[in-house]
Structure 1
């Protein structure tokens, strides 16, 4: 075991009673293992560090949301001979492209290494846990996060599901050491994902407040009007942790990737059908109310999200200055992406014309626009989506029997104010409509590439693909393997 553990950041999120604000606190690095893991609080701090590591720019803070993955599917306008242009051309031999995929690969496995360090020390130091359920929750979250990150590594670097024999084999790392970890078969990798998920679900089910309280309650613990009064802040804000329902949602997503439609359907249904104590649906689709309230990131739909205290700066640095843009007017997006419905909440709310100091005008996504200050817990929208309710509705539309599937699609469309669209008359048409909805719904969230790859979608269906692009979903193996 390494004497010192390098963690990206620790101590995670604090509740600031003066203004009800979430904050990330400053990082600590190079903490000796015998000190970090000699108390229950040390394990909590280490786990907070894992979440913050996952928010780095080489991970879900940029590359795997609006950055590299969205450039792959040409979501943004590009300048000639930039790395973004080469990504959109699927030019995996460009050194700048290689560097980006190396950085993602290394960061993801580095985060997994931190997770494995916690898991390894959990068993060795189990006696330090004095609070009921904390050991189980920490272990479950680690296993769930390990499955989440490994699954994304497979989706990005692995084979197309319809041809698992062609493409990279990857390592599923479960130990914290300096050894080179063996690449395993597609099926063995799949088995390990579901083993981690099943163990995590069983561990956490008894202790996760998400099963007992509403989303508003867990987003506002000990707050006015909240029924949730935790004695330990560690169990607060479960919507921003790898909670039980996030694990089930990931189980659904993974089953769909691996072709188990029944498994995907069953797991998605458990989440969608979950009820609060008053029999209201626990996870609702957003409506126009959220868009009107400028909750463009739809935190109410985020079964699992990462708190991003600097999201306002992220928007300014990437969208407010039109670094990431699509068109000089609304026409490209309105017509080609949304079909010029005139009613779609996303069409009318999620894009904005930005005028730069030079006078240039660009159409930019404002999904990540948030108010930085003067917010309450319930109006603090600084949250990166990891998995949302809307995805589960689209999974159900893809996996349910046809008549039921249409009902899920109709419900989804009604909540996006596009009930007037033609209802698909057969399964192939339904599948095509689902692909379109993924593209509209998750623009800037890094999910479009995955549905294109999962279904091996031809270039004609890859919206905005350049005429000179040769679509290639099989990424080469990264030239670095920093997986210790």
Structure 2
């Protein structure tokens, strides 16, 4: 996988609302050259993935850093590094001088990547299939991935900068950008925005299915060794066609649709997509404890991961004496259930009384680091369990939800029976399971936001009241 060469496409400046998508004459010349053949579209697409994997986005801020601080994953007393950036994030001090630049970076970087997606989409829709090595098949795949990326990024922006539907969102919040070049787009309501997210993802699902679900191709997303491992399934075609789990494909677009449908209140549709993935051949949990050695991210059940070979180095400063990302009340969280492999294999004790997520701790063994280190999990199978549980809850089937959650716990090596639970107790139990499962992946904040609940802080401490809507950077109001 180290052989992948990413070429960043950075044609677009981002310097304020009136010129944020302006393109100079010289840049237009570069674009005409870039998109004159299929290789240019490949480079542009891979550049977007590279930018998403940086520290400003999913290489830190949108996963184990800023987002998991908003989700109250860490002990605030242990986080002291870097001028209090993450401490203040856990305090929801969005106007603090250490936090405002992080929010601005997320906003600017995401909309910059969206603009690059729109550039690809605009050009490829008018491109002849003849300029691509694999003709219509390649054109469809690139267009499908670009549409999926656009929907994916817009959705995460919505979850950050607008209220959740359950909270009674009634205003207009942020723009959904679909054209290039574009000076500005209107702010939309949450409902109208979600319709556009779903529209992009449904189109992407249809387009990626034309490649990923072919009988000769489906193994590339079924087998984790090919999906996120080190094997190139399409050797005759080259690297661009392989490692489909680190790119938008039919399977993870389906998962994203399940995520978006649930958030938008369409739980029956969410369950339909989630159930497909729960039954999907090859999307498995490691069966034995030894399978987790050198595999703290549990590759086999990852549906989508981005890729940054330096991410463990980015994480490393937060594992030293100047700042531990110590898991908050970890012993309360696991309640002595140390057979749960999310405790024994996916966390690690780096000092007495200090246990951190092992997902970004580097391996001394180069082969293990190469296989595991660069992956940035974005969505995994467990989330499909939680979505299916929510479906059963909304249909007043608590026992079915309980059985499904018990199945997930057993897959992770925890066979302890669940007690009798009311609907509200079940939600609390499921959210605690998600804290075990999704630590370092940036999803905890969004789950609590969906349920509009205060965030757990141990057995005896009062729950933490979160601020679920971030302020749009003042200089970028549209």
**Root mean square deviation, CA, Å:** 3.0
Q: Which residue of 1 aligns with 2:85?
A: 83
Gaps of 5+ in 2: 12-26
User: Structure 1 length normalisation: TM-score?
Assistant: 0.84
Q: Which residue of 2 aligns with 1:118?
A: 120
Q: Which residue of 1 aligns with 2:218?
A: 211
Q: Residues of 2 paired with 1:410 and 1:361: CA distance?
A: 29
- Decide which of 383, 403, 406 is 2:375's aligned counterpart: 383
Q: Which residue of 2 aligns with 1:70?
A: 68
User: Structure 2 length normalisation: TM-score?
Assistant: 0.85
Q: Which residue of 1 aligns with 2:304?
A: 304
- Of the structure 1 ranges 314-323 and 252-261, higher mean CA displacement relative to structure 2 is found in 314-323
How far is 1:125 from its partner?
2.5
For the residue of structure 2 that corresponds to 1:104, the secondary structure is helix
- Decide which of 195, 199, 208 is 1:195's aligned counterpart: 199
**Could you say if the C-alpha distance between residues 423 and 480 of structure 1 is closer, same or farther in structure 2, counting changes exceeding 3 Å?**
farther
Q: Which residue of 2 aligns with 1:38?
A: 36
Q: Residues of 2 paired with 1:308 and 1:284: CA distance?
A: 24
Deviations along 1:336-371, one digit per CA (max 9) or x if unpaired, are 22122232112222333335xxxx984332211243
Are 2:165 and 1:161 aligned?
yes
For the residue of structure 1 that corresponds to 2:348, the secondary structure is strand
Q: How does 1:253-402 map to 2 (within 5 A)?
A: 253-274=259-280, 281-289=281-289, 292-319=292-319, 323-326=323-326, 333-354=329-350, 362-371=354-363, 374-375=366-367, 379-400=371-392, 401-402=397-398
**Could you say if the C-alpha distance between residues 288 and 167 of structure 1 is closer, same or farther in structure 2, counting changes exceeding 3 Å?**
farther
Q: Which residue of 2 aligns with 1:277?
A: none
CA contact (8 A) 2:341 2:413 kept: yes
CA contact (8 A) 1:290 1:296 kept: no
How far is 1:465 from its partner?
12
Q: Residues of 2 paired with 1:165 and 1:220: CA distance?
A: 37
Q: Which residue of 2 aligns with 1:250?
A: 256
Q: Residues of 2 paired with 1:291 and 1:439: CA distance?
A: 22
Gaps of 5+ in 1: 1-14, 16-20, 275-280
Deviations along 1:358-406, one digit per CA (max 9) or x if unpaired, are xx98433221124376428994452000110111112212213434322
**Could you say if the C-alpha distance between residues 334 and 46 of structure 1 is closer, same or farther in structure 2, counting changes exceeding 3 Å?**
same
Q: Residues of 1 paired with 2:463 and 2:245: CA distance?
A: 42
Q: Which residue of 1 aligns with 2:468?
A: 473
For the residue of structure 2 that corresponds to 1:443, the secondary structure is coil
Q: Residues of 2 paired with 1:399 and 1:216: CA distance?
A: 28
Q: How does 1:383-462 map to 2 (within 5 A)?
A: 383-400=375-392, 401-459=397-455, 461=456
Q: Which residue of 1 aligns with 2:19?
A: none
Are 2:131 and 1:128 aligned?
yes
Count of aligned pairs: 447
For the residue of structure 1 that corresponds to 2:41, the secondary structure is helix
Between structures 1 and 2, the one with greater helix share = 2
CA contact (8 A) 1:23 1:309 kept: no
How far is 1:47 from its partner?
0.4
Q: Which residue of 1 aligns with 2:46?
A: 48
**Could you say if the C-alpha distance between residues 38 and 254 of structure 1 is closer, same or farther in structure 2, counting changes exceeding 3 Å?**
same
**Could you say if the C-alpha distance between residues 462 and 114 of structure 1 is closer, same or farther in structure 2, counting changes exceeding 3 Å?**
farther
Deviations along 1:101-126, one digit per CA (max 9) or x if unpaired, are 11111111111011111011112333
How far is 1:86 from its partner?
2.2
For the residue of structure 2 that corresponds to 1:207, the secondary structure is helix
